[in-house]
Amino acid sequence: MTTATPRRDAVLAALDTYIHPLIGRGLISAGCVAEVELGARPHIIVELGFPGAGIAAELAADVKALMKAQFGLDVAVPMGCRILPQSVQKGLSPLPGVANIVAVASGKGGVGKSTVAVNFALALQAEGARVGILDADVYGPSQPLMLGSRTKPTSPDGKRLNPIIAHGLQAMSIGFLMDNDAQPAIWRGPMVTQALHQLLTETAWDDLDYLVVDLPPGTGDIQLSLSQRVPVAGSIIVTTPQDIALLDARKGLQMFRKVGIPVLGIVENMSTHVCSNCGHEEAIFGTGGGDKLAQEAGTELLGSLPLDIQIRRDADSGNPTVAADPNSPLALRYRGIARLAAARLAYGAAAAAGFPTISIADD
């Protein structure tokens, strides 16, 4: 017996009843359904507004099950993503070759911001996006070490610089232009701001979905100037659980909001310490700080990361955790954070409604 072909409007209505927690609204309302074919080879093409390789199989299976349950219809569900540029601060235009700039910041140094930034960039790439990273810390550039590259950039036309390619990322840092690690940048604030603006605008970024900017720590003149001159679509605040770090993280959060940059959420780094001998986890810096700050500020806790010696070893060796072992429990934490942040950027507050905090236990 052949199942009758369902009406198209009924299929669309059914698709709009499916609400994935990362999207926060129906697939039709969110614009995630690119094509519906109900003929000889029925299929529904789903295009997410964020890179979601890690959830693609699950989402496709859910849609197939929905169509089978409601209409007795066996459909193929090809999955893809279409990442669109999001709005930036008033008076600024998007950067050529870059759809979205995401700033990763911290109120103070020593919270692991640069490690989070590079793994966040690699996680976005692992989820299916084209990604670059700009090391905006002129005084202490760390991305060349973490990316394992000392290559000097070339110029295609004598005016722009080609980004360095490392682990598939397009990367730029003042560190790539220095002769050695011990060479200090003894510059005043305006010189630093100008240098960073040149690195950003004079690098030939090639069709990026996201450019992750690893900002210097703090909320001083450099950070404020960059926030006012760089077209940033969203920001992420990195903190540790202890009170002094949270105090400074609040300042960074408020700085972004004052200049009209959305805060996508907070990453709590070093939330627990993992013993390298026995694997025991202990919250040596306190608990719940990142979640409390997120609730106070009306934003999300994107996820928590442990103080794990493997993360440090990977970064110091020039092979960050997400690149070194993309399917490890630690890498999956970064990928979950990246998906949630990208969904928050694509779909706004609805993407985070009712979404649980990402905190994976290593059983």
Element spanning 46, H or E:
strand 43-48
pLDDT at 1 over 60: no
* Domain identity same for 43 and 130: no
| Cross-strand pairs, 131 | 210
pTM (two decimals): 0.91
* Domain identity same for 54 and 186: no
Q: Which residues, at least 6 apart from 56, have a Cβ–Cβ distance to it below 8 Å? A: 79
* 86 is a domain residue: no
* Domain identity same for 24 and 149: no
* Domain identity same for 67 and 108: no
* 339 is a domain residue: yes
* Domain identity same for 208 and 107: yes
Give 182-212 pLDDT, tens digit per residue.
555 556 566 777 888 889 999 999 999 999 9
Residue positions counted in the chain = 363
* Domain identity same for 57 and 125: no
Res 350: pLDDT? 47
* Domain identity same for 31 and 110: no
CA distance 101 to 90: 15
Give 329-353 pLDDT, tens digit per residue.
999 999 999 999 999 999 985 444 4
* 92 is a domain residue: no
Full domain range(s) for residue 38:
8-81
Report the domain count for the chain.
Answer: 2
